[in-house]
């Protein structure tokens, strides 16, 4: 850990108010003292400019134990493993791909076909651009990523669905891709127009399937269906709708895409804000996944809660701070073990970074206009760091580990954000950085294990090669005959140069 991120440094500066963010409000239900009732919204509360090196690195992950691809089968029977495949926000950067979280529950199951094996059950939450570069590097194959839970249909949360859908069948996913997501928003577009777009998951998947037709036909000279695959039913998985592919694909084919549309209006809470499980999205293998509404750009975004074996996780996707999120994290008084929630930079810090300035310079051309524009975006869509601190202060019991995501990582931005959070906890040491709260980098791994109260959460950092060829796959047989029996059946071979003694070797050498 760098000196900028040391716990001593954090606590020393934690009394500084961060620009543009709100303090105050009683910490209801936390058992802590009241915060100041007067808002302290200082400009440049994090003391920019800072040491230049702190803006170009994130030191914390280097302290963690390493997680390598060969450790994938190291999944205990009572373990929930969370791998961060993407933690950033648009436009993305080399250090952070866009949002995606992979969750597995034990035990590890060997592959009867002699392949790599997989967890008892596994789930993808969002699949933003670049996340499948990371999944391949850390050793996660496509057959382990057949259930995708989308929080909303923004490009940075679903763009790599194209790779998962199109290339899963030529690798080792030989059955359908199942996708969960919200139903229509019901928003009049705009108000008074009488126009309503069909913007729910079903129509998205229908059009997505049509858009991928050239790709799927072109690769259908390969077998795309595992004959022994047991096609699940609505009753098997307790889904809110029947499991029916869009288009004309067979129910066991890997080019079938199956939308499970969710009623985003259901909070999953009774009148006392306890879980009532009227909003189950999936239930199987002891795993229960429920959904709840969040506040992001347009009606219809959702968050998810996963419960299994006495362990629990919440992932909100993108959202403004919400009372429903607090109630879901309360979880009927049980709390949650891992609370994953978006966080964005303070307005001035974000604009300073985007304009390449060393400090929030309101005299710089365009600075104030950029702050105003970003403020409008945040008002519609996001949770700035100080608001995140307030949100966390309202959750009781506190999460075992709080994980802010969708955040632009660097030593300086993390320290600044941590200060904002700490301002809502004026007494005691909570939340302690690295123990109670951690900003994850891509390929960080959390192993959440039973065996005590609270459960043990171990943090690892993926150690991968930039040149990893691909993950070890599983083997499935028997497979159905392909749609096209000849790899060249769809080609115009008029101008094709064939292999032969005067051209090139058929075996590729």
Question: What's the angle, vertex CA 233, arms to CA 229 and CA 234, rounded to 5?
Answer: 150
Measured distance CA(214)–CA(211) in Å, rounded: 8
Percent of the chain with pLDDT over 70: 92
- Per-residue pLDDT band for 45 (boundaries 50, 70, 90) equals confident
367 occurs within a structural domain: no
Measured distance CA(130)–CA(143) in Å, rounded: 18
- Per-residue pLDDT band for 84 (boundaries 50, 70, 90) equals very high
Residue whose tokens read 């058929």 = 506
pLDDT at 98 over 70: yes
pLDDT of residue 38: 57
* Mean pLDDT in residue range 200-227: 97
pLDDT of residue 453: 72
What would the pLDDT profile of 298-307 be if each residue is shown by its tens digit? Answer: 999 999 999 9
Measured distance CA(334)–CA(230) in Å, rounded: 35
Separation of first and last alpha carbons in the chain: 49
Measured distance CA(226)–CA(222) in Å, rounded: 12
295 occurs within a structural domain: yes
> Contact, 292 vs 300, CB < 8 A?
no
| Cα 308 off chain centre by | 18
Choice among 71-85, 122-136, 142-156, 444-458 with the minimum mean pLDDT: 444-458
- 299 dihedral zone (left: phi>0; alpha: psi -120 to 50; beta): beta
pLDDT of residue 31: 30
pLDDT of residue 30: 31
pLDDT at 21 over 50: no
The domain total for the chain is: 1
pLDDT of residue 9: 37
Q: Is 120 exposed, middle or buried (0-12, 13-18, 19+ CB in 10 A)?
A: middle
Measured distance CA(407)–CA(87) in Å, rounded: 7
CATH number at residue 85: 3.60.15.10
The token duo for 281 is 């999205």
pLDDT of residue 366: 96
362 occurs within a structural domain: no
pLDDT of residue 32: 35
pLDDT at 19 over 50: no
pLDDT of residue 5: 38
> Contact, 116 vs 472, CB < 8 A?
yes
335 occurs within a structural domain: yes
Mean pLDDT of all residues belonging to the chain: 91
Range of the domain at 12: 3-344+382-462
pLDDT at 94 over 50: yes
Task: Calculate helix-pair angle for 367-381, 347-354, nearest 10 degrees.
Answer: 130
pLDDT at 89 over 60: yes
What would the pLDDT profile of 456-483 be if each residue is shown by its tens digit? Answer: 999 999 999 999 988 999 999 999 999 9
377 occurs within a structural domain: no
What would the pLDDT profile of 362-387 be if each residue is shown by its tens digit? Answer: 999 999 999 999 999 999 999 999 99
499 occurs within a structural domain: no
pTM of the predicted structure, to 2 decimals: 0.92
105 occurs within a structural domain: yes
494 occurs within a structural domain: no
pLDDT of residue 67: 98
- The residues pairing with 200 across neighbouring beta strands, listed in sequence order, are none
pLDDT at 33 over 70: no
């Amino acid at each position: 850990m760098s000196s900028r991120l040391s716990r001593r440094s954090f606590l020393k500066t934690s009394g500084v108010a961060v620009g543009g963010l709100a303090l105050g409000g009683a910490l209801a239900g936390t058992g802590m003292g009241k915060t100041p009732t007067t808002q302290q919204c200082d400009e440049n509360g994090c003391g920019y400019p800072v040491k230049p090196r702190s803006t170009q690195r994130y030191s914390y992950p280097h302290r963690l134990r390493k997680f390598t691809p060969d450790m994938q089968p190291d999944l205990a029977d009572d373990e929930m493993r969370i791998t961060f495949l993407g933690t950033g926000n648009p436009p993305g950067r080399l250090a952070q791909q866009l949002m995606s979280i992979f969750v597995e529950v034990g035990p590890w199951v060997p592959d009867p076909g002699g392949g790599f094996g997989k967890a008892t059950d596994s789930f993808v939450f969002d699949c933003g651009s670049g996340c499948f570069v990371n999944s391949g590097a850390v050793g996660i194959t496509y057959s382990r990523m057949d259930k995708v839970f989308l929080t909303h249909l923004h490009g940075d949360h679903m763009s790599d669905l194209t790779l998962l859908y199109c290339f899963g069948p030529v690798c080792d996913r030989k059955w359908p891709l199942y996708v969960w997501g919200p139903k229509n928003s019901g928003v009049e577009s705009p108000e008074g127009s009488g126009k309503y777009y069909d913007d729910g998951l079903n129509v998205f998947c229908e059009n997505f399937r049509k858009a991928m037709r050239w790709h799927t036909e072109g690769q259908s000279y390969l077998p795309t269906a595992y004959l022994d695959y047991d096609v699940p039913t609505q009753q098997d998985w307790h889904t809110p709708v029947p499991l029916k592919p869009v288009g004309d694909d067979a129910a066991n084919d890997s080019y079938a895409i199956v939308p499970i549309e969710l009623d985003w209006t259901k909070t999953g809470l009774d009148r006392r804000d306890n879980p009532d499980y009227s909003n189950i999205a999936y239930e199987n293998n002891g795993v229960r996944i429920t959904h709840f509404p969040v506040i992001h750009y347009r009606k219809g975004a959702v968050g998810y809660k996963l419960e299994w074996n006495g362990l629990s996780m919440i992932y909100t996707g993108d959202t403004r701070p919400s009372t429903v999120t607090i109630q879901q994290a309360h979880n009927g008084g049980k709390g949650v073990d891992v609370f994953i929630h978006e966080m964005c930079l303070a307005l001035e810090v974000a604009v300073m970074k985007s304009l390449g300035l060393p400090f929030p310079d309101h005299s710089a051309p365009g600075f104030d206009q950029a702050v105003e524009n970003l403020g409008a975006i945040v008002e519609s869509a996001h949770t700035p760091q100080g608001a995140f601190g307030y949100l966390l202060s309202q959750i009781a019991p506190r999460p075992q580990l709080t994980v802010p995501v969708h955040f632009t990582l660097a030593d300086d931005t993390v320290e600044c954000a941590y200060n904002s959070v700490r301002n809502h906890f004026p007494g005691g040491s909570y939340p302690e950085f690295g123990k109670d709260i951690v900003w994850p980098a891509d390929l960080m791994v959390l192993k959440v294990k039973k065996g005590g109260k609270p459960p043990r959460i171990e943090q690892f950092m993926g150690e991968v090669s930039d040149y990893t060829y691909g993950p070890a796959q599983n083997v499935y047989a028997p497979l159905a005959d392909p749609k096209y029996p000849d790899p060249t059946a769809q080609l115009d071979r008029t101008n094709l140069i064939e292999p032969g003694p005067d051209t090139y070797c058929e075996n590729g050498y």
